[in-house]
Protein backbone atom coordinates (compact mmCIF):
# COMPACT_ATOMS: atom_id res chain seq x y z
CA UNK A 1 0.00 0.00 0.00
CA UNK A 2 1.43 3.39 -1.02
CA UNK A 3 2.09 5.74 1.85
CA UNK A 4 0.47 9.17 1.94
CA UNK A 5 2.42 11.80 -0.05
CA UNK A 6 2.10 14.42 2.68
CA UNK A 7 4.26 12.23 4.93
CA UNK A 8 7.02 12.26 2.33
CA UNK A 9 6.61 16.00 1.82
CA UNK A 10 7.23 16.55 5.54
CA UNK A 11 10.26 14.24 5.49
CA UNK A 12 11.72 16.21 2.60
CA UNK A 13 11.08 19.52 4.36
CA UNK A 14 8.69 20.71 1.66
CA UNK A 15 5.31 22.40 1.86
CA UNK A 16 3.34 22.84 -1.35
CA UNK A 17 0.80 25.56 -2.01
CA UNK A 18 -0.69 23.20 -4.59
CA UNK A 19 -0.32 19.69 -3.10
CA UNK A 20 -1.61 18.07 -6.29
CA UNK A 21 1.64 19.07 -8.03
CA UNK A 22 3.54 16.93 -5.53
CA UNK A 23 1.16 14.01 -6.08
CA UNK A 24 1.66 14.30 -9.84
CA UNK A 25 5.43 14.28 -9.35
CA UNK A 26 5.11 10.87 -7.69
CA UNK A 27 2.80 9.46 -10.37
CA UNK A 28 4.36 7.14 -12.96
CA UNK A 29 3.10 7.05 -16.55
CA UNK A 30 1.80 3.51 -15.97
CA UNK A 31 -1.03 5.08 -13.94
CA UNK A 32 -2.38 7.20 -16.79
CA UNK A 33 -2.06 10.44 -18.71
CA UNK A 34 -1.74 12.64 -15.61
CA UNK A 35 1.81 11.55 -14.73
CA UNK A 36 5.20 13.03 -13.82
CA UNK A 37 6.86 13.01 -17.25
CA UNK A 38 6.42 16.74 -17.94
CA UNK A 39 7.47 17.70 -14.41
CA UNK A 40 10.48 15.38 -14.73
CA UNK A 41 11.48 17.13 -17.97
CA UNK A 42 11.33 20.49 -16.18
CA UNK A 43 13.08 19.25 -13.05
CA UNK A 44 15.92 17.72 -15.04
CA UNK A 45 16.74 21.09 -16.63
CA UNK A 46 16.50 22.97 -13.33
CA UNK A 47 18.64 20.43 -11.47
CA UNK A 48 21.37 20.58 -14.10
CA UNK A 49 21.41 24.37 -13.98
CA UNK A 50 21.48 24.62 -10.17
CA UNK A 51 24.22 22.01 -9.79
CA UNK A 52 26.24 23.68 -12.56
CA UNK A 53 26.07 26.99 -10.70
CA UNK A 54 27.08 25.41 -7.40
CA UNK A 55 30.06 23.69 -9.02
CA UNK A 56 31.04 26.90 -10.82
CA UNK A 57 31.15 28.72 -7.48
CA UNK A 58 32.79 25.87 -5.54
CA UNK A 59 35.61 25.23 -8.02
CA UNK A 60 36.72 28.61 -9.43
CA UNK A 61 39.83 27.21 -11.11
CA UNK A 62 38.18 24.18 -12.75
CA UNK A 63 37.91 24.20 -16.53
CA UNK A 64 34.79 23.38 -18.53
CA UNK A 65 35.68 19.73 -18.97
CA UNK A 66 36.24 19.20 -15.25
CA UNK A 67 33.00 21.00 -14.36
CA UNK A 68 31.11 18.85 -16.86
CA UNK A 69 32.53 15.65 -15.36
CA UNK A 70 31.71 16.81 -11.85
CA UNK A 71 28.14 17.62 -12.85
CA UNK A 72 27.78 14.25 -14.59
CA UNK A 73 28.99 12.48 -11.44
CA UNK A 74 26.18 14.13 -9.44
CA UNK A 75 23.35 14.42 -11.94
CA UNK A 76 22.89 10.92 -13.29
CA UNK A 77 20.30 8.19 -12.90
CA UNK A 78 22.29 6.20 -10.35
CA UNK A 79 23.10 9.21 -8.17
CA UNK A 80 19.49 10.44 -8.14
CA UNK A 81 18.14 6.97 -7.41
CA UNK A 82 20.55 6.75 -4.49
CA UNK A 83 19.16 10.00 -3.06
CA UNK A 84 15.61 8.79 -3.65
CA UNK A 85 16.30 5.58 -1.72
CA UNK A 86 17.77 7.54 1.18
CA UNK A 87 14.34 9.15 1.57
CA UNK A 88 12.40 5.91 0.85
CA UNK A 89 10.77 7.54 -2.19
CA UNK A 90 9.73 4.18 -3.56
CA UNK A 91 7.22 3.77 -0.72
CA UNK A 92 5.27 6.78 -1.96
CA UNK A 93 5.24 6.26 -5.72
CA UNK A 94 1.95 5.86 -7.56
CA UNK A 95 2.43 3.01 -10.05
CA UNK A 96 0.20 1.01 -12.37
CA UNK A 97 -0.49 -2.62 -11.52
CA UNK A 98 2.13 -3.89 -13.97
CA UNK A 99 4.91 -1.76 -12.49
CA UNK A 100 3.85 -2.70 -8.98
CA UNK A 101 4.11 -6.39 -9.79
CA UNK A 102 7.50 -6.00 -11.49
CA UNK A 103 8.97 -4.00 -8.61
CA UNK A 104 9.02 -0.62 -10.33
CA UNK A 105 9.34 1.15 -6.99
CA UNK A 106 12.91 -0.22 -6.81
CA UNK A 107 13.95 0.72 -10.36
CA UNK A 108 16.61 3.43 -10.73
CA UNK A 109 14.95 5.06 -13.72
CA UNK A 110 11.58 5.41 -11.98
CA UNK A 111 13.11 6.68 -8.74
CA UNK A 112 15.32 9.25 -10.45
CA UNK A 113 12.45 10.48 -12.64
CA UNK A 114 10.27 10.96 -9.56
CA UNK A 115 12.98 12.97 -7.81
CA UNK A 116 13.34 15.23 -10.84
CA UNK A 117 9.55 15.42 -10.96
CA UNK A 118 9.53 16.77 -7.40
CA UNK A 119 12.01 19.47 -8.41
CA UNK A 120 9.79 20.39 -11.35
CA UNK A 121 6.74 20.52 -9.09
CA UNK A 122 8.58 22.70 -6.58
CA UNK A 123 9.56 25.10 -9.35
CA UNK A 124 5.98 25.39 -10.60
CA UNK A 125 4.74 25.86 -7.05
CA UNK A 126 7.35 28.25 -5.60
CA UNK A 127 9.92 29.24 -8.22
CA UNK A 128 13.66 28.85 -8.73
CA UNK A 129 14.79 30.16 -5.33
CA UNK A 130 12.95 27.38 -3.51
CA UNK A 131 14.51 24.83 -5.89
CA UNK A 132 18.02 26.20 -5.31
CA UNK A 133 17.57 25.98 -1.53
CA UNK A 134 16.15 22.45 -1.54
CA UNK A 135 18.61 21.07 -4.09
CA UNK A 136 21.42 22.54 -1.98
CA UNK A 137 20.17 20.59 1.04
CA UNK A 138 19.47 17.45 -0.98
CA UNK A 139 22.97 17.35 -2.50
CA UNK A 140 24.88 18.79 0.47
CA UNK A 141 26.66 15.54 1.37
CA UNK A 142 27.47 14.64 -2.23
CA UNK A 143 28.82 18.13 -2.90
CA UNK A 144 30.93 17.97 0.25
CA UNK A 145 32.34 14.56 -0.67
CA UNK A 146 33.12 15.85 -4.12
CA UNK A 147 35.13 18.76 -2.75
CA UNK A 148 37.02 16.43 -0.43
CA UNK A 149 37.92 13.84 -3.08
CA UNK A 150 40.61 15.51 -5.19
CA UNK A 151 38.32 16.68 -7.99
CA UNK A 152 41.36 17.49 -10.16
CA UNK A 153 42.22 13.83 -10.75
CA UNK A 154 42.33 13.02 -14.44
CA UNK A 155 40.31 10.14 -15.98
CA UNK A 156 43.30 7.75 -16.12
CA UNK A 157 43.95 8.24 -12.42
CA UNK A 158 40.26 7.83 -11.59
CA UNK A 159 40.03 4.61 -13.60
CA UNK A 160 43.21 3.22 -12.07
CA UNK A 161 41.99 3.96 -8.55
CA UNK A 162 38.63 2.39 -9.34
CA UNK A 163 40.29 -0.85 -10.42
CA UNK A 164 42.61 -0.81 -7.42
CA UNK A 165 39.63 -0.35 -5.10
CA UNK A 166 38.04 -3.43 -6.65
CA UNK A 167 41.36 -5.31 -6.30
CA UNK A 168 41.48 -5.98 -10.03
CA UNK A 169 44.14 -5.66 -12.70
CA UNK A 170 45.03 -2.14 -13.76
CA UNK A 171 43.64 -0.79 -17.07
CA UNK A 172 45.55 -1.74 -20.23
CA UNK A 173 46.26 0.90 -22.88
CA UNK A 174 47.33 -0.12 -26.40
CA UNK A 175 48.27 2.23 -29.23
CA UNK A 176 46.33 0.98 -32.25
CA UNK A 177 46.86 3.75 -34.78
CA UNK A 178 48.94 6.85 -35.42
CA UNK A 179 48.30 8.96 -38.50
CA UNK A 180 48.97 12.39 -39.97
CA UNK A 181 51.99 14.57 -40.53
CA UNK A 182 54.65 14.76 -37.79
CA UNK A 183 53.41 18.17 -36.61
CA UNK A 184 49.70 17.25 -36.62
CA UNK A 185 49.38 13.59 -35.73
CA UNK A 186 46.33 11.80 -34.43
CA UNK A 187 46.67 8.91 -31.99
CA UNK A 188 44.17 6.13 -31.29
CA UNK A 189 44.43 4.14 -28.07
CA UNK A 190 42.39 1.18 -26.88
CA UNK A 191 41.57 0.95 -23.16
CA UNK A 192 40.61 -2.44 -21.71
CA UNK A 193 39.67 -3.46 -18.17
CA UNK A 194 38.90 -6.84 -16.64
CA UNK A 195 35.49 -5.70 -15.35
CA UNK A 196 33.85 -5.83 -18.79
CA UNK A 197 34.63 -7.41 -22.16
CA UNK A 198 34.09 -4.25 -24.19
CA UNK A 199 37.00 -1.90 -24.78
CA UNK A 200 37.00 1.83 -25.50
CA UNK A 201 38.97 3.66 -28.16
CA UNK A 202 40.06 7.24 -27.53
CA UNK A 203 41.67 9.70 -29.92
CA UNK A 204 43.92 12.69 -29.34
CA UNK A 205 46.74 14.82 -30.67
CA UNK A 206 49.14 12.92 -28.41
CA UNK A 207 49.22 9.40 -27.01
CA UNK A 208 48.63 10.79 -23.53
CA UNK A 209 45.51 12.69 -24.62
CA UNK A 210 44.23 9.62 -26.45
CA UNK A 211 44.70 7.53 -23.30
CA UNK A 212 42.84 10.12 -21.21
CA UNK A 213 40.01 10.12 -23.75
CA UNK A 214 39.78 6.32 -23.71
CA UNK A 215 39.83 6.26 -19.89
CA UNK A 216 37.06 8.83 -19.72
CA UNK A 217 34.93 6.77 -22.09
CA UNK A 218 35.59 3.64 -20.03
CA UNK A 219 34.55 5.39 -16.81
CA UNK A 220 31.27 6.41 -18.46
CA UNK A 221 30.71 2.86 -19.75
CA UNK A 222 31.35 1.33 -16.32
CA UNK A 223 28.90 3.79 -14.80
CA UNK A 224 26.24 2.66 -17.27
CA UNK A 225 26.94 -1.01 -16.60
CA UNK A 226 26.62 -0.51 -12.84
CA UNK A 227 23.10 0.97 -13.14
DSSP string, 146-215: HHHS-TT--HHHHHHHHHHHTT-PPPEEEEEEEES-TTS-EEEEEEE-TT-S--EEEEESSHHHHHHHHH
According to the CATH classification, is domain 5-148 in 3.90.600.10?
no
Collapsed DSSP state (helix, strand, coil) of residue 27: strand
> CA 85 to CA 106: how far, in whole Å?
8
Does residue 172 have a pLDDT over 80?
yes
pLDDT digits (tens, 9 = 90+) for 133-151: 999 999 999 898 776 455 6
Domains 5-148 and 155-225 share a fold: no
pLDDT digits (tens, 9 = 90+) for 4-48: 889 999 999 999 999 999 999 999 999 999 999 999 999 999 999
As a residue count, the chain comes to 227
Binding site as annotated, residues: 40, 113, 116
Residues with a catalytic annotation lie at 44, 116
Residue of 221, 98, 99 whose CA lies nearest to 162: 221
Phi and psi for 193 in degrees, rounded to 5? -135, 155
Q: 155-225, which class in CATH?
A: alpha beta
Binding site as annotated, residues for Mg(2+): 40, 113, 116
pLDDT digits (tens, 9 = 90+) for 72-117: 888 988 889 889 999 999 999 998 888 877 887 788 889 999 999 9
Residue 203: exposed, middle, or buried by beta-carbon count in 10 A (0-12, 13-18, 19+)? middle
Answer for the pair 217, 191: CB distance below 8 angstroms, yes or no. Answer: yes
Q: Which of 43-52, 56-65, 97-106, 214-223 has the highest mean pLDDT?
A: 43-52
Sketch the domain layout of the chain as residue ranges.
5-148, 155-225
Q: How confident is the model at residue 226 (pLDDT cuts 50, 70, 90)?
A: low
Amino acid sequence: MTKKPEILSQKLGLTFNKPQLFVTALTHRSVGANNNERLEFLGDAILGCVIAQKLYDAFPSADEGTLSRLRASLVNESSLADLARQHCLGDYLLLGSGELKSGGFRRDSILSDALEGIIGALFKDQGIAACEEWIGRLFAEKLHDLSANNWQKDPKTQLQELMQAKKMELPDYALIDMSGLPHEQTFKVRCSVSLIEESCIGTGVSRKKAEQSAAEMMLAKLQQVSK
